[in-house]
Structures are given as C-alpha cells and as structure tokens.
Amino acid sequence: MTSNGRTPDEAAEERLLDIRDLRLAFGNVVALDNCSLYARPGEVTAIIGDNGAGKSSLIKCILGVNRPTGGTMTFRGQPHTALSPHQAKDLGIEAVFQDLALFDDLTLWQNMFIGREVRRRVGPLALLAKREMAARADEMVSRLTVNVPSARRTVRSMSGGQRQAVAIARAVAWGSELVIMDEPTAALGLRERTEVEEVILGLRAEQRSFLLISHSFDQVMRLSDAVWVMRQGRAVAHRRTRDTTGEELVALVTGAKSAEL
C-alpha cells in the first residue's frame, strides 16, 4: 500500500508522466543513471538538484531532444521508448525556458501563432487571418493575472514579467498536457516574479500540469505539490511538498540528510 492507502497499481494510474530506469550516456559520461520519477496530472512537480545532477538531461529526454540509451517513459498511460521533438509536441508536452524563445520585434499575437498561423481562403489565395489571430491571442492572455498589453503590441515593449507570462500562455494555449518550466523567474525582479508565480498558480487551479526546474527552494515550496531531488543522474528522494520544508530539501540536495524514495 502507498502512504495514502492506495495500492502501487492504483497510484500508477494517477501518473501523467512515469519514467523508469532512464539512462543517458555520452560515451563514458553518464548523464542519467537509471533515473526513475513520475508526475501526477493537475499538479506542479518540482525537480531540484545541484548543477550537473541531471535535470537538464532529463527534461531534454522528455522533450525528445536527447534519445535515452535505456529505460522507459510512459505518458498518459502510453509507453514511449524515445520521442522526437515533434512527437513530444504532438503528445502535448511543451517547455518554457529562461530565454523564452520569443521574437522581440513581432507582436504578441504573432508570437502566439508562430507555426500555427490561421489562414482564410479568398478565391485562389490563402490569406493570414490577422484580426482573428489577434482576437484569439487577446482571449488567451486575458485570464492571466499579469496585465499583458494588447495583442498588437510587440514583445520588445513588454516587461520581463509580461514576457514570461506570454511564454507560459503560449505553452498552455494549445491544449498542452504538460508544461516544463526551466527556471521560469530566474532573471526577474521580486514584483515580476510574484506576478509570474500567480500565473502558474492560477493555471494549476485549472488542473494544468507542470514540471518545474528551480534553484529557488522558497519558490518550490510556494508553487509545487511534489518534489523530486536529483543527484548524480538519479532521482534520490521524493516528497509531497506539504510534508517537507525548505531546510530538508537543502539537506537532501547537499547529501547532509540521507536520501530516500
């Protein structure tokens, strides 16, 4: 039985992402060493660890950038030995990185619809439906707690918090099942960081699912439902956030406290 009274099989049924014994090696360098962890739907699952612990290698495997050399990954109950980036997107796995991958000189709506442009046929021509895309982009960001300007404004004119909110909105706007956030507020000031965290909490309340990579244990405690600790390419500890403290997480990451799954 698990700690909440369910059998292991019942607990496994609740898993959106289930990674078991994942291995990634580059020649003699082992980036992931039989790493196993999972994430439940409708939750923010944090992954923490020192630099070199394997966090980036893990998320690149999930996104299809790296091809694992061993182990399995199950997403929404379907096994996937290895994914391509295109397959990961088709499954509904999106990512928001520190650099945001936004185009400064394009408008908000153009950034939201890159690669997903809406066209309307007029006779033999297929024309961009600019007004429709701008209106839909306004709808996409209207429920965010950050005051994002008109969809017709360029990204360059926005604050750091607004840019981050747009990047998150773009990731979740297309029916994403899982959004991976890698240090989503690392370059932001206190006010902007608070605004972005409110966006994440609001989306979590809508049962959106996130993987959060963060070096800020305070942020992990504020945002996450569960925490995995990685060290030397392995997931060495798992905690429900309500049952741990920032101090314990520090001790688990540094090895001052014995890790346990």
CATH code for the domain in which residue 62 is found: 3.40.50.300
Domain membership of residue 261 (yes or no) is no
Residue 9: predicted pLDDT: 44
Residue 171: predicted pLDDT: 83
Q: List residues bridging with 86 in a β-sheet.
A: none
**Where are any strands of DSSP class E within 89-225?**
93-96, 119-122, 125-128, 178-182, 210-213
- Each residue's pLDDT tens digit, 165-199: 888 888 887 768 999 999 888 878 888 888 889 88
> For 49-71, what is the mean pLDDT?
93
Least confident of 55-64, 69-78, 118-127, 196-205: 118-127
Number of domains in the chain: 1
Least confident of 36-50, 143-157, 181-195: 143-157
pLDDT above 80: residue 59:
yes
Going by C-alpha positions, the residue among 254, 258, 228 that lies closest to residue 241 is 228
Using alpha carbons only, give the angle 131, 179, 60 rounded to the nearest 5 degrees.
120
pLDDT above 70: residue 260:
no
Q: Are 187 and 98 in contact (CB under 8 A)?
A: yes
Percent of the chain with pLDDT over 90: 44
Domain membership of residue 239 (yes or no) is yes
Domain membership of residue 112 (yes or no) is no
Residue 159: predicted pLDDT: 86
pLDDT above 60: residue 5:
no
Residue 3: predicted pLDDT: 42
Residue 144: predicted pLDDT: 73
**Where are any strands of DSSP class E within 111-209?**
119-122, 125-128, 178-182
Report the C-alpha gap between 153 and 50 in whole angstroms. 38
Which distant-in-sequence residues (6+ apart) come within 8 Å of 63 by Cβ? 83, 85, 88, 93, 95, 180
Percent of the chain with pLDDT over 70: 92
- pTM, two decimals, is 0.84
Average pLDDT, the chain: 86
Domain membership of residue 190 (yes or no) is yes
Q: Which domain holds residue 28?
A: 14-106+156-254
Query: Residue 164 to residues 42, 76, 104, 167: CA-CA distances in angstroms?
Result: 21, 27, 12, 5
- Each residue's pLDDT tens digit, 19-40: 999 999 998 899 999 999 999 9
- Each residue's pLDDT tens digit, 230-251: 999 999 999 999 999 999 999 9
Domain membership of residue 63 (yes or no) is yes
Domain membership of residue 72 (yes or no) is yes
Domain membership of residue 194 (yes or no) is yes
Domain membership of residue 245 (yes or no) is yes
Residue 38: predicted pLDDT: 97
Structure tokens at 84: 């391509």
Residue 2: predicted pLDDT: 44
Report the C-alpha gap between 98 and 82 in whole angstroms. 25
> Residue 100: pLDDT band by 50, 70, 90 thresholds?
low
